[in-house]
Amino acid sequence: MTFRTTCPSFPNERPSCNASGAATPKASLLWSCRDAEPFRLAMLILVTYDVATVDRAGQRRLRRVAQACEDYGTRVQKSVFECQVGQKEWVELRNRLLHEFKADEDSLRFYFLDETAARRTEHHGVDKPVDLTEPLIL
């Protein structure tokens, strides 16, 4: 796990994860510099799901779970998304997904990836992955 407590541009500043200065949870958290924001908490989370689609309600849940993931990340396989989100966005995404899925029929998994795991990811085949840390040019 990589946990940096300073920003290279502002080495004497210490970040806090929220307005009250509460301690940062020891998940795979990364501090990164942005132009206007000296500190932005970014987590790379891999979201996987398996939604039962034997009835129309399941098909609806599948669409809603996929849409929630698309709103926060990039699809890398049919039911797998890479999401680079801040702490606030992570809470929103997690709550939205937990609200949509049905625990007795569906499966939902979150993998928290640190910098090392993200750099060691290999991709083979079609659909070259999008670098979530670079600006998106359309």
Name the fold adopted by 1-118. Answer: Alpha-Beta Plaits (3.30.70)
> Which of helix, strand or coil describes residue 127?
coil
Average pLDDT, integer, range 57-75: 96
Residue 28 has pLDDT above 60, yes or no: no
The region of weakest confidence among 7-11, 60-64, 127-131 is 7-11
Question: Which stretches of 3-134 are assigned E, i.e. beta strand?
Answer: 29-32, 40-50, 74-77, 80-85, 107-113
The pTM score is 0.64
Q: Indicate if the alpha-carbon torsion angle 15, 17, 22, 28 is positive or negative.
A: negative
How would residue 37 be classed by pLDDT, with cut points 50, 70 and 90? very low
Whole-number average pLDDT of the chain: 76
The token pair at 117 is 């795991």
